[in-house]
Structure 1
Amino acid sequence: KKSSLPGKLIDCRSSRPEEAELYIVEGQSAGGTAIAGRDSRNQAVLFLKGKVLNTESLTASKAMDNQEINDLVMAIGSGIGSDFDIQKLRYHRIILLMDADSDGNHISTLLLGFFFRHMREIIRAGKLFIALPPLFRIDVGKEKHYAQDDAQKEEILASLPANRKAEVYRFKGLKKKKKEKLKETALDPKTRNLMRVAFYA
């Protein structure tokens, strides 16, 4: 029910879970940019403001005492622990979008631990993703190439013909990105790079 959704969730217009996506972002600044750059038809944004707990050793009820975890569970809609029901999932893509720095990696790790411990079926169903916004864009004429790090950037540059001129653009962190750049690198299905979280035997 929409009335019970957390205030930090900016929902999408679509009520069809199979086409809806939930972006989980760190902080209100990054959340505001994601909200401005998203496709409001099917992309929702939940921004986390406070500290995310390490829930590995916590029961479901104890995990829910944390405001950020509570907001996350309410937004996803499927419940938690013995109340979990994947049929009530409100989004068929849940996407972690964090900065590629130590803080962002720490928050992603805590959230992955939460899903593994308390919402494992979401991972089993292939609904959890990590956004991998590139660090660089290399423009060669009208062609655009994206690199996740310095090594990939150098690899792309080395592969170009000697007579092709390349312009290298380094992207800023999520909080400093303009909405057009965030859309290009993390939100637009045509240009974004998502990694599905999965179990391996």
Structure 2
Amino acid sequence: EAAIQYTNSMDENVKCYTNNIINPEGGTHLAGFRTALTSAINTYAQKSELLKGLTSTLNGDDVREGLTAVISVKVANPQFEGQTKIKLNNPEVKNAVAKVIRDELLIYFDEHPKEAKAIIDKAILSYKAKAAAKAARDAVIRKSALESTALPGKLADCISSNPADSELYIVEGDSAGGSAKQGRDRHTQAVLPLRGKIINTHKYRVDRVLGNNEFKDITTALGVGIGTTLDIAKLRYHKIVIMSDADVDGLHITTLVLTLLYRFFKPLIDGGYVYVAQPPLHKVEIGKKKYYFLNDNEKDEFVRKAKAAGKVPVSNRFKGLGEMNPGQLWETTMSPETRVLKQVKIDDAEEAEKVFEMLMGTEVPPRRRFIQKYAKRANLDV
């Protein structure tokens, strides 16, 4: 048995079961299903003359883009891989599943030509996007991991050529980038200011993302390439630090950069190379002493205690990183001795994918439900 649904997502999500036992890594039933799906779609598309203009038939990645499916088989003597039955290994299952699925899909396509055309059109879009992305990728990926001059005027590179000692600060805006460039440790810290709008990389197709200037800048600065060419050994910095304003707008920028890294450079997150800086939102002065706080609660508690002790605190809220002079930015956010960095980790890959899809995907209703559920906990900068 199989249930199939296509969505606007660009990801494939297939769950496989044998005798009602889930097989997280699929197996021969998944292989048979994929073979049948690709074959049936190409057979119908060629018969209906829907592949005109393409240099080849659609491949598996094309026809499975946006696919959500559940496959369930009953096997008398199942052979599994591992004690937890993560994968079905029975070789005879592949052909059996492939024949049933292919035959049933072709019947469905013949009886529902409108739905069949919609599925094929989506696959053709994927095919064309990959062709465009390959051409664009050739223009984006750097030839050498040492070509920091590829970003004149934007990337202020560090002196060190040892990736283990090097840090890349991805900074929101030119003014903050200027302060960061002046306040940094030039030996180990590079600064890349983002001047334009960062595209929501979870929402748009690959070809459009690769045309975005900010994406090109980040890709070139990292030096690892993307997609099948991604090579962590070429990473130029072993700390990639996202540094944006401490307010809601800054959090939005951080979310967009995290989305970009998650979708195109996930091995960097898995490897523990990605961090988020924690710049202060408030400065409180008591006499000649200065105190910095990451949020309203910390600041309010400090001010309350200071007043109770008879002191006169003077508070100042930073509107952005650009309001800090280079010395303040170094002291609060960039100095290894005093800064706070949060390492980005993924403990639950499936849950992480759900969150990114809900917050950054094309479907509005899940996002609306999330906002309504947590509206009372929102901290609005108004």
Aligned twin of 1:5: 150
Aligned twin of 2:347: 200
Partners of 1:36 and 1:4 lie apart in 2 by 19
Shift of the 164–137 alpha-carbon distance from structure 1 to 2, 3 Å rule, reads farther
Larger relative helix fraction:
2
Task: Give the 5 Å matches for 1:5-154.
Answer: 5-7=150-152, 8-58=154-204, 60-138=206-284, 145-154=291-300
Question: SS state of the match for residue 54, structure 1?
Answer: coil
Shift of the 158–3 alpha-carbon distance from structure 1 to 2, 3 Å rule, reads closer
Partner AA of 2:150 in structure 1:
L
Partners of 1:171 and 1:90 lie apart in 2 by 35
Partners of 2:182 and 2:228 lie apart in 1 by 36
Tell whether the 8 Å contact from 2:303 to 2:313 is kept in structure 1 after alignment: no
Partners of 2:304 and 2:252 lie apart in 1 by 33
Partners of 2:306 and 2:171 lie apart in 1 by 35
Partners of 2:148 and 2:260 lie apart in 1 by 25
Q: 1:131-184: CA deviations, max 9, x gaps?
A: 111223456789865421121123345567954747454352211211111111
Partners of 1:199 and 1:142 lie apart in 2 by 42
TM-score norm. by structure 1 comes to 0.88
* Cα offset, 1:33, TM superposition: 0.7
Partners of 1:134 and 1:90 lie apart in 2 by 28
Tell whether the 8 Å contact from 1:171 to 1:177 is kept in structure 2 after alignment: no
Q: 1:98-156: CA deviations, max 9, x gaps?
A: 01223222221111111111100110111101111122345678986542112112334
Partners of 2:333 and 2:312 lie apart in 1 by 23
Tell whether the 8 Å contact from 2:274 to 2:343 is kept in structure 1 after alignment: yes
Q: 1:42-67: CA deviations, max 9, x gaps?
A: 00000111111111144555422111
Tell whether the 8 Å contact from 2:276 to 2:341 is kept in structure 1 after alignment: yes
Question: SS state of the match for residue 103, structure 1?
Answer: helix
Aligned twin of 1:190: 337
Partner AA of 1:176 in structure 2:
E
Cα root mean square deviation, aligned: 2.3
Tell whether the 8 Å contact from 1:37 to 1:183 is kept in structure 2 after alignment: yes
- Uncovered stretches (5+) of structure 1, i.e. residues with no partner: none
Partner AA of 1:183 in structure 2:
W
Which of 1 and 2 has higher RCO (CA within 8 Å, sep 6+)? Answer: 1
- Uncovered stretches (5+) of structure 2, i.e. residues with no partner: 1-145, 349-382
Shift of the 19–166 alpha-carbon distance from structure 1 to 2, 3 Å rule, reads farther
Partner AA of 2:194 in structure 1:
L
Partners of 2:166 and 2:341 lie apart in 1 by 15
Structure having the higher Rg: 2
Question: SS state of the match for residue 152, structure 1?
Answer: helix
Aligned twin of 2:325: 178
Q: 1:62-86: CA deviations, max 9, x gaps?
A: 4221111011010011111111111
Question: SS state of the match for residue 47, structure 1?
Answer: strand
Shift of the 43–79 alpha-carbon distance from structure 1 to 2, 3 Å rule, reads same
Tell whether the 8 Å contact from 2:246 to 2:294 is kept in structure 1 after alignment: no
